[in-house]
Homo-oligomer: A and B are copies of this chain.
């Protein structure tokens, strides 16, 4: 840090199991990746190449090299997995992961119908090859999943071999964990946390109000995902209670007054 401020919440050092920030690259140039790493590299734990943008970007190989040279784990968005599954190309997807040297993969069913046993079987198979992140929640705002179901889905996916599970929100933060207004389904989150350890969940929270909500509820070291690259520094200040939104939340005023 550039100077001393007392009484800030403690943050784990990398590699972290909690307090992770997963950022989404939806088409950065090589220089933009370098700039992102310069500014936010030490605050980012995972980089997702959003949905299937990796199919069209012309700089994929170099981009992977730049992220890896900086020690940043990078993976393809779950929608790419789904694009292969719906085309009956799971084997091609496994080869793709090898061809590009990926060591993380995301398994999701946000855009397709997938029997949950089948989904867990994909997780089980991929977990022999890479670290698996799996995502719960539909991109379809008409599909409301009740809390007990979120919990059983998450637990089954962790049992099948997922390293962590992701709560779906889309880039815009309007489905899954969120109402179509972007408001957090708070009862849902609280009930999930009675059963699933909080370090096992990455909450997608692309909008600032959502980040603030999770940090107020779960503290500085909650895992948050789908963060825009230029919002990683702002998010870190929200975690530390040095932006207006969480300014009074982590202060021990009694201790300071002594």
Interface residues in chain A, defined as those with a beta carbon under 8 Å from any beta carbon in chain B:
1-7, 26-32, 34-36, 38-43, 50-61, 79-80, 82-84, 86-89, 92, 96, 99, 110-112, 139, 170, 172, 208, 230, 232-234, 236-237, 240, 242-244, 247-248, 251, 253, 256-257
Q: How many monomers of this protein are in the complex?
A: 3
> What is the bound-complex CA distance between A137 and B2, given in angstroms?
28
In the bound complex, residues from chain B placing their C-beta under 8 Å from that of A233 are 26-27, 53, 56-57
Residues A244 and B1 in contact in the complex (CB < 8 Å), given A6-B89, A53-B234, A234-B27: no
In the bound complex, residues from chain B placing their C-beta under 8 Å from that of A79 are 242-244, 247
Q: Is the CB of A56 within 8 A of B7?
A: no
- Between A and B, 19 residue pairs with Cβ closer than 8 Å are A2-B54, A2-B61, A5-B87, A5-B89, A6-B89, A26-B230, A26-B234, A29-B35, A29-B39, A31-B31, A43-B56, A50-B234, A52-B237, A55-B240, A56-B237, A57-B233, A111-B244, A111-B247, A172-B208
